[in-house]
């Protein structure tokens, strides 16, 4: 009799361990998808040549739950009209942004685009023709294709609040030929 009781206890322990492993794996998968794997499909060519219409990218939502966007991050944000957009962070909270003679000035200094590459002159300054002061939780966002981008230069987008920014674009999964990280 003891043999059967011991065998049933071992079987029960084995099943409980197996169920626990499955629950942990599912929880880890859910966390990973939330943190790093939310898919977003690019609409339009405002981020060209970095991203093109119908590209599919992954967005990290967790990063901005724990920190704040940095200059040049490519972010997904929700506009006031509830449309999702992808743009690049140019101005940070507390800064003043202006576009003068086709160049971006941040706090009166020409912005060095660094690793994001050379930037051609901006033809339309929009609201940034005059200094745009960013509030405590506001960001100034621009599309990389500045001649074809509806961004913070226009009143229907304007300064973007931190609570409108959903996450950081970090990886392109489609098209397959351009599979890889996004900067």
- Tokens linked to 60: 């990290």
- Tokens linked to 132: 């745009």
Q: Does the annotation count 155 as an active-site position?
A: no
Catalytic residue among 38, 46, 48, 54: 46
**Whether 34 contacts 61, CB under 8 Å:** yes
Per-residue 3-state assignment (H helix, E strand, C coil) for 31-90? HHHHHHCEEEECCCCCCCCCCCCCCEEEEECHHHHHCCCCCCCEEEEECCCCCEEEEEEE
**Whether 148 contacts 55, CB under 8 Å:** no
Catalytic residue among 7, 38, 53, 87: 87
Q: Does the annotation count 87 as an active-site position?
A: yes
Place of tokens 């590459």: 117
Catalytic residues: 46, 87
């Amino acid at each position: 009799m003891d043999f059967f009781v011991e065998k049933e206890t071992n079987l029960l322990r084995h099943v409980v361990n197996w169920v626990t492993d499955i629950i942990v794996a599912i929880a880890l998968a859910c966390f990973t998808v939330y943190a790093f794997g939310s898919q977003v499909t690019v609409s339009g060519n405002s981020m060209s040549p970095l991203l093109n219409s119908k590209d599919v990218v992954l967005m990290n939502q967790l990063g901005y739950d724990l920190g704040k966007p940095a200059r040049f991050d490519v972010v997904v944000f929700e506009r006031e009209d509830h449309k999702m957009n992808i743009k690049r962070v140019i101005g940070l909270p507390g800064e003043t942004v202006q576009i003068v003679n086709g160049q971006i000035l941040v706090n009166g200094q020409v912005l060095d685009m660094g690793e994001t590459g050379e930037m051609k002159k901006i033809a339309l300054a929009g609201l940034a023709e005059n200094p745009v002061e960013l509030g405590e939780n506001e960001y100034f966002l621009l599309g990389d294709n500045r001649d074809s981008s509806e961004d913070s230069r226009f009143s229907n987008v304007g300064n973007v609040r931190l609570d409108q920014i959903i996450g950081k674009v970090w990886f392109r999964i489609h098209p397959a030929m351009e599979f890889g990280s996004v900067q």
